[in-house]
């Protein structure tokens, strides 16, 4: 609009008093008669010195005439309304600039719907420029056979009534698919829909800042943003709901001892808060020039309870193990002691029974022989108990010397040859001479025990004693007996386990063999199957 300002206005006290107000409303009290004002819609107003000038102004097309200074009050009101309209336009301009620069996809349509305006986020994500989109419908630009007409009609109707929020699948200008989180609503003037709007965000849109990235990464869990002194700045709804609604510091929620890292750092710790256990993950951030820490709580109550239960069980097992170990040590000590004490009277019995065999005749001589055999068996049992007790107590002495494995095998074969022949068995020795550092007596004890077992079970059949050299020297005892089932193999080397019924003894031999093999630096293993014989292998 155009103001006609007479020179008298500049010289009046009112104009001088309201000069700043006039300037803020867009007026400049400069020399001359015509000034432009940006208050759109205000009718042309002419300010004149007297009524005669007013009549001339109406003749020139004025809509309203104010006589100065008589109508000074009305002029002030007109200026006030002009200033208010200017401020409204400034605010509207700021808001428009903000949404146009926004990164989210925003559309404004009429009710048809036809696009009437879009922002920069729309252009960047859809691929359409403003001038290409305005005047065209979203269906024409994006839908391309994604959702059905009924779906869009339902969304449009719900958006008009109360707003709609959900997911859309559309297409960009280049034909690529775009899955979006969408909010659609209506703008009303006096209960009439003046326009529709849609705000869209691609579901795969990347976070734009380290803070957004950190929160997006842990957003499903309760979290707080806190200052380095522990003061809570912001928190998720789940954090306040599950832990503390009115908490102001980490101390209030029982996390006052948590170490808060510097920007770029991180710390993790487990803490109990009430009845819940949390894994507290802290990430140091720099938001602008303010150091903050993102504190995220992961509920690990179930895991901690399970760990504590396992810890209790482990402690109980350790206690039971120590008690069993102590009892086993006591047992071994007792067996060693009692076995040693038994050897003295047994040796006396064996000695006197041999003398009786020489001086007695007939049935009495046979009785003496039976006494001698029973004593010999009892002495062997005592020796086995003594060996087992020494092995378990770690008291076996090993004397290392160069030992030829083949010589040991030949010695054992000679010892068992008569027993094998009586059972229609034959003993064979295979392999090459192998020399290693070991204890000859203990090595012979192992082979003799293994081969002796073979003479009990491989009836009739062949027993093979073998040795081989190389990086890992090996000796083995193999028979063609009935073999051992899987259930027996699992417990074969356990003390007091026998291979079969009627075998004699108490089942200590194989347990002693494995213990002695370990002391000699070897590993004793067995391979067997029912009907396929058995092979024991000692490998260094």
Residue 244 DSSP class: -
Q: Do 111 and 92 have their domain in common?
A: no
Q: Do 408 and 278 have their domain in common?
A: no
CB 385 within 8 A of CB 339: yes
Instruction: Using the Cα atoms of residue 388, residue 393, residue 399 and residue 403 in order, give the sign of their dihedral.
Output: positive
Give me the residues paired with residue 425 across strands: 461
Q: Do 414 and 522 have their domain in common?
A: yes
Q: State the DSSP H helix or E strand holding residue 53, giving kind and residue range, or none if neither.
A: helix 51-59
In 223-234, which positions are buried (b, 16+ CB within 10 angstroms) versus exposed (e)?
A: bbbbeeebebee
Residue 249 DSSP class: B
The residues near 80 (Cβ < 8 Å, ≥ 6 apart) are 25
CB 67 within 8 A of CB 51: yes
The β-bridge relationship of strands 2-4 and 45-48 is: parallel
SS3 388: helix
d(CA 152, CA 47) in angstroms, rounded, equals 57
d(CA 103, CA 182) in angstroms, rounded, equals 14
Total domains, the chain: 5
Question: Residue 500: what pLDDT?
Answer: 56
**In the numeric block, which tokens belong to residue 95?**
């808001």
Question: Residue 206: what pLDDT?
Answer: 64
Question: Residue 127: what pLDDT?
Answer: 92
Work out the angle at residue 232's Cα, subtended by the Cα atoms of residues 228 and 238, and round it to the nearest 5 degrees.
Answer: 130
Q: How far is CA 301 from CA 224, 251, 410, in A?
A: 20, 20, 66
To the nearest 10°, report the CA torsion of 429, 433, 435, 441.
30
Query: What is the number of helices (H) and of strands (E) in the chain?
Result: 17, 21
Q: Do 344 and 380 have their domain in common?
A: yes
Number of other residues whose CB lies within 10 A of the CB of residue 36: 10
d(CA 300, CA 308) in angstroms, rounded, equals 12
Query: For residue 115, what are the domain limits?
Result: 102-202
Q: How far is CA 152 from CA 87, 111, 144, 167, 408, in A?
A: 39, 13, 13, 12, 94
In this predicted model, what pLDDT tens digit does every residue of 383-401 receive, in sequence order? 766 676 677 666 677 788 9
Q: Do 384 and 434 have their domain in common?
A: no
Phi, psi of 116 (to 5 degrees): -115, -15
SS3 393: helix
Which residue in 506, 488, 490 sits closest to 339, CA to CA?
506
d(CA 181, CA 167) in angstroms, rounded, equals 5
Q: Do 195 and 295 have their domain in common?
A: no
Phi, psi of 168 (to 5 degrees): -120, 150
Taking the CA atoms of the chain, what radius of gyration do you get in angstroms?
Answer: 52
Q: Do 406 and 520 have their domain in common?
A: yes
Q: State the DSSP H helix or E strand holding residue 437, giving kind and residue range, or none if neither.
A: strand 435-438
Domain boundary among 202, 237, 253: 202
Q: How far is CA 481 from CA 41, 421, 431, 451, 531, in A?
A: 117, 16, 21, 12, 7
d(CA 109, CA 62) in angstroms, rounded, equals 39
Place of tokens 């069980």: 313
Phi, psi of 154 (to 5 degrees): -65, -40
Place of tokens 């108490």: 506
Which residue in 540, 373, 329 sits closest to 446, CA to CA?
540
- List the chain pLDDT tens, one digit each, 540 residues: 344 444 344 434 555 566 666 556 555 444 333 333 333 344 467 777 888 887 887 777 776 778 877 887 777 777 777 778 778 888 877 888 888 888 889 999 998 889 999 999 999 889 999 999 999 988 888 866 678 888 888 888 899 888 999 888 888 888 888 888 899 999 888 888 889 999 988 877 666 667 777 777 766 788 888 888 888 888 887 787 766 667 888 888 888 888 899 988 999 988 888 788 888 999 998 877 788 899 998 888 888 888 888 888 888 888 888 888 777 777 666 666 666 666 677 777 777 777 777 777 777 777 777 787 777 667 666 676 667 667 766 667 778 899 898 888 988 888 888 888 888 888 889 888 888 888 888 888 888 888 888 888 777 788 899 998 888 899 989 988 888 888 777 778 777 666 555 555 567 778 888 888 888 888 889 888 888 888 999 998
We report the CATH number of the domain holding residue 174 as 3.30.450.20
In this predicted model, what pLDDT tens digit does every residue of 200-235 receive, in sequence order? 888 776 666 677 777 777 667 888 888 888 888 888
To the nearest 10°, report the CA torsion of 213, 215, 217, 218.
170
pTM listed for this prediction: 0.40
Domain boundary among 202, 218, 249: 202
Question: Residue 446: what pLDDT?
Answer: 87
CB 268 within 8 A of CB 281: yes
Question: Residue 108: what pLDDT?
Answer: 93
Instruction: Using the Cα atoms of residue 202, residue 204, residue 206 and residue 212 in order, give the sign of their dihedral.
Output: positive
We report the CATH number of the domain holding residue 433 as 3.30.565.10
The alpha-helical segments, DSSP class H, found in 257-362 are 301-359
Question: Residue 147: what pLDDT?
Answer: 82
Q: Do 85 and 116 have their domain in common?
A: no
DSSP conformation letters of 453-491: HHHHHS-SEEEEEEEE-SSS-EEEEEE-SS---HHHHTT
The burial of 88, by beta-carbon neighbours within 10 Å (0-12 exposed, 13-18 middle, 19 or more buried), is given as: exposed
Q: Do 423 and 515 have their domain in common?
A: yes
Q: How far is CA 393 from CA 201, 233, 254, 493, in A?
A: 74, 65, 52, 18
Q: Do 415 and 531 have their domain in common?
A: yes
**In the numeric block, which tokens belong to residue 405?**
């494995």
d(CA 216, CA 219) in angstroms, rounded, equals 5
d(CA 24, CA 375) in angstroms, rounded, equals 128
Q: Do 7 and 93 have their domain in common?
A: yes
Domain boundary among 332, 359, 393: 393
Give the total residue count for the chain.
540
Q: Do 416 and 532 have their domain in common?
A: yes
């Amino acid at each position: 609009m155009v103001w006609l300002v007479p020179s008298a206005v500049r010289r009046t006290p009112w104009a001088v008093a309201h000069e700043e107000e006039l300037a803020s409303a867009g007026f400049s009290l400069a020399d001359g008669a015509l000034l432009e004002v940006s208050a759109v819609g205000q009718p042309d107003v002419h300010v004149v010195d007297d009524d005669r000038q007013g009549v001339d102004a109406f003749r020139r097309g004025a809509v309203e005439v104010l006589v100065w200074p008589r109508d000074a009050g009305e002029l002030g009101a007109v200026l006030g309304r002009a200033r208010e309209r200017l401020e409204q336009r400034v605010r509207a301009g700021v808001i428009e600039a903000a949404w146009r620069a926004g990164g989210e996809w925003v559309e404004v349509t009429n009710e048809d719907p036809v696009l009437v305006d879009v922002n920069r986020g729309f252009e960047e994500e859809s691929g359409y420029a403003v001038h290409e989109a305005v005047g065209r419908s979203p269906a024409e630009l994006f839908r391309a056979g994604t959702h059905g007409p009924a779906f869009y009609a339902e969304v449009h109707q719900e958006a008009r009534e109360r707003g709609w929020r959900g997911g859309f699948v559309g297409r960009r200008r280049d034909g690529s698919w775009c899955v979006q989180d969408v909010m659609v609503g209506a703008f009303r003037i006096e209960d009439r829909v003046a326009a529709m709007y849609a705000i869209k965000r691609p579901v795969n849109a990347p976070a734009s800042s380290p803070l957004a990235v950190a929160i997006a990464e842990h957003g499903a869990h309760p979290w707080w943003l806190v200052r380095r002194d522990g003061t809570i700045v912001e928190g998720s709804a789940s954090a306040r709901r599950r832990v503390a609604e009115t908490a102001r510091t980490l101390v209030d929620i029982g996390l006052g001892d948590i170490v808060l890292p510097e920007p770029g750092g991180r710390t993790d710790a487990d803490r109990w808060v009430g009845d819940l256990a949390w894994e507290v993950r802290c990430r140091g951030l720099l938001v602008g020039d303010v150091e903050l820490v993102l504190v995220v709580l992961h509920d690990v109550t179930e895991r901690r309870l399970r760990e504590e239960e396992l810890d209790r069980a482990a402690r109980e097992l350790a206690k039971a193990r120590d008690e069993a170990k102590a009892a086993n040590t006591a047992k071994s000590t007792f067996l060693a002691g009692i076995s040693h004490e038994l050897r003295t009277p047994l040796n006396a019995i064996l000695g006197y029974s041999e003398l009786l065999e020489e001086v007695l005749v007939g049935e009495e001589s046979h009785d003496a022989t039976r006494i001698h055999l029973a004593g010999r068996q009892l002495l062997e049992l005592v020796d086995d108990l003594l060996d087992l007790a020494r092995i378990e107590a770690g008291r076996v002495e090993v004397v290392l010397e160069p030992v030829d494995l083949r010589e040991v095998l030949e010695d054992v074969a000679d010892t068992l040859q008569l027993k094998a022949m009586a059972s229609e068995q034959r003993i064979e020795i295979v392999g090459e001479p192998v020399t290693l550092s070991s204890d000859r007596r203990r090595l012979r004890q192992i082979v003799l025990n293994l081969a002796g077992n073979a003479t009990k079970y491989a009836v009739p059949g062949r027993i093979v004693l073998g040795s081989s050299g190389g990086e890992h020297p090996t000796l083995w005892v193999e028979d063609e007996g009935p073999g051992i089932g899987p259930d027996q193999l699992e417990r074969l080397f356990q003390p007091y386990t026998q291979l079969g019924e009627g075998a004699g003894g108490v089942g200590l031999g194989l347990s002693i063999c494995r213990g002695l093999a370990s002391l000699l630096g070897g590993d004793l293993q067995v391979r067997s199957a029912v009907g396929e014989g058995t092979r024991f292998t000692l490998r260094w």
